[in-house]
């Protein structure tokens, strides 16, 4: 894989391969051409004062937060724009209010209702409810038959932003799953069904962590550590601090 900017495509797609051939060296099997990064719609320039220092963002928000923006908000093959406002909007929507909130809610309910330990059960009565006429489907079937195949296909084509779309669609579906079954109310009437709901949620979060690992490696490992999954159960750990504090 040869990764280049679009401004040097001609040299690296035509002249460089010719030079490699003349030297009897192997050619790149693929060339990925990425776009430019602008700030506020303008080319970054010290004279304008719009240069972004990634180290400052990493020190303030963590490397995973910055990685999230570039993988989630910018197509690898097109120009992308970075501003502090866009970064914070994406951070709060996708990280603090998205995956961070989901993990916190589910672990808190697991601790409160089952002392942190839930078995993985496949119960037909608690599927993902189909929307707009779509049929119901079990959480595991949706993940294994729909989400994961779509994710892997997009990753194979380096469509990183579209691969993260699959992840955040699953996060939204699990948020909707909480709304549909209301485990905080269900626990008062059906403890077994509540355990099945939380088991499905923890299973989904575990799969999300797997898919997040190329993009947010530090947080993905932390999520899996918090879940404490064994072959047939989860033993969650208390969340002392939010994965992504709101900004």
Integer Rg of the chain from CA: 22
List of residues 6+ apart from 223 with CB closer than 8 A:
99, 103, 205, 206, 208, 209, 212, 243
Indicate yes or no: pTM above 0.85: yes
Q: Which of 14-18, 66-70, 146-150, 216-220 has the lowest mean pLDDT?
A: 14-18
pLDDT in tens, 210-229: 999 999 999 999 999 999 99
Number of helical H runs and strand E runs in the chain: 12, 7
How is residue 96 written in tokens? 């603090």
The lowest-confidence range among 42-46, 187-191, 202-206 is 42-46
**Domains in the chain, start-ordered, CATH in brackets?**
105-235 (1.10.730.10)
Residue whose C-alpha is closest to residue 187's, from 237, 124, 115, 135: 115
């Amino acid at each position: 894989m040869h990764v280049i900017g679009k401004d040097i495509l001609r040299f690296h797609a035509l002249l460089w391969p010719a030079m490699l051939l003349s030297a009897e060296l192997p050619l790149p099997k693929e060339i990925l051409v990425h776009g430019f990064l602008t700030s506020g719609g303008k080319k970054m320039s010290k004279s304008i004062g719009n240069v972004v220092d990634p180290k400052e963002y990493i020190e303030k928000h963590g490397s995973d937060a910055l990685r999230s923006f570039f993988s989630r908000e910018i197509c690898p093959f097109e120009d992308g724009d970075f501003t502090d406002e866009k970064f914070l909007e994406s951070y709060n929507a996708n990280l603090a209010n998205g995956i961070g909130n989901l993990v916190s809610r589910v672990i808190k309910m697991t601790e409160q209702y089952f002392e942190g330990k839930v078995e993985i059960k496949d119960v037909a009565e608690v599927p993902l409810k189909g929307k707009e006429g779509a049929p119901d489907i079990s959480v595991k079937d949706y993940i294994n038959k729909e989400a994961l195949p779509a994710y892997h296909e997009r990753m194979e084509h380096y469509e990183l932003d579209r691969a993260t779309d699959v992840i955040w669609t699953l996060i939204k579906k699990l948020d909707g799953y909480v709304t549909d079954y209301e485990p905080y109310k269900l626990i008062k009437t059906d403890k077994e069904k509540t355990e099945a709901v939380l088991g499905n949620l923890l299973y989904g979060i575990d799969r999300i962590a797997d898919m997040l690992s190329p993009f947010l490696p530090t947080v993905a490992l932390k999520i899996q550590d918090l879940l404490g999954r064994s072959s047939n159960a989860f033993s969650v750990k208390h969340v002392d601090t939010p994965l992504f504090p709101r900004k």
